[in-house]
Amino acid sequence: MKLKTLQASIFRPVLLAAIVAANFNTVILARNADELHYLKVGQLDAAELLAPPPIQGSPEQDADMSSVKAVHKACGTNEAAVAISEKKFSVFNFAPAIGQFFQPGKLPKTESFFERLQEEAAVVTDHAKLHWKRPRPYTIDPSLASGKLEKSFSYPSGHSTEATVLALVLADLFPSRRDDVLAVGRGLGWHRVLIARHYPTDIYAGRVLARAIVREMKLNTDFQRDFAEARLEIQAAQATQLKSPGHAALDSVESQPVAK
């Protein structure tokens, strides 16, 4: 066999593997293209954006697991019940930070807008989970298992990513409630550590990923249009509330375009 032929036979599989790895994220995202509203296929690659999770068996992984065990052990019954109830959540989990007027069925355009945001964040996060395939804490230590367990991977946290995406956009709509809104988003992510669904590093990665997702979404004209429509709908709901007897004071929505 000639040298060039030999080299080709050796390096062709390696090259093919590299090409597959380089396109893995785009392929996965392309399968979910029908769920994308404000991002384009391959626009945001979580595998390039985020650092890899701790390696199994490493001191870093041991420290991450120790944190989970400590937080889980200290978690009270009521806290655990709240965390478990948040397995499915929506933008209306933020109502305590915004106002009781912010309820399902009252703001159809706003509700649809945030459903799309959450769906899209889930697509990006799921594709990142498939890239790293990090086992959840209770998979490594079955003593941490409780309730109905997820079969998906751990890194980054979907709850943390989705909740932070919702929180960041809500904070643009309700700037004077920004701190309270962001606190709810952080809590939705952190509660997953309480019930050993995630490591702290999963939660932090989700927050980083969410900021990148929102940054990219804000470049999209459809996002800008839907954000503006949601803002107008909320303003109208607030105006109606203000005219009603015994109304509660409501926050005002920014009248200026969403920051890019």
Q: Residues 6 or more apart from 24 whose CB is under 8 A from it?
A: 47, 131
Task: Please tell me the pTM assigned to this model.
Answer: 0.83
Residue 241: is its pLDDT beyond 80?
Answer: no
CA gap 207, 195 in Å, rounded: 19
Residue with more model confidence, 24 or 113: 113
Give the model's pLDDT for residue 3. 39
Tell me: the pLDDT tens digits for 53-96? 999 999 999 999 999 999 999 999 999 999 999 999 999 999 99
Distances (CA, A) of 42 to 20, 173, 258: 14, 28, 24
SS3 of residue 39 by DSSP:
coil
Q: Which tokens in the block code for residue 238?
A: 């607030």
**In the prediction, which pLDDT does 247 show?**
53
Mean pLDDT of 152-165: 97
- The label of the residue with tokens 């990090």 reads 134
Whole-number pLDDT of residue 100 = 84
pLDDT in tens, 18-60: 333 334 344 445 556 667 899 998 888 898 999 999 999 999 9
Residue 210's closest CA among 258, 159, 173, 174? 159
Q: Which two tokens stand for residue 31?
A: 């399968």
The structural domains of the chain, ordered by start, are 32-36+43-243 (1.20.144.10)
**Residues contacting residue 225 through CB under 8 Å, at least 6 positions apart:** none
Query: What is the mean pLDDT of the segment spanning 106-124?
Result: 97
Tokens (6 digits) for 223: 């996002």
**119-157, pLDDT tens digit by residue?**
999 999 999 999 999 999 999 999 999 888 899 999 999
pLDDT of 41 reads 84
Contact 195, 75 (CB under 8 A): yes
Per-residue pLDDT band for 189 (boundaries 50, 70, 90) equals very high
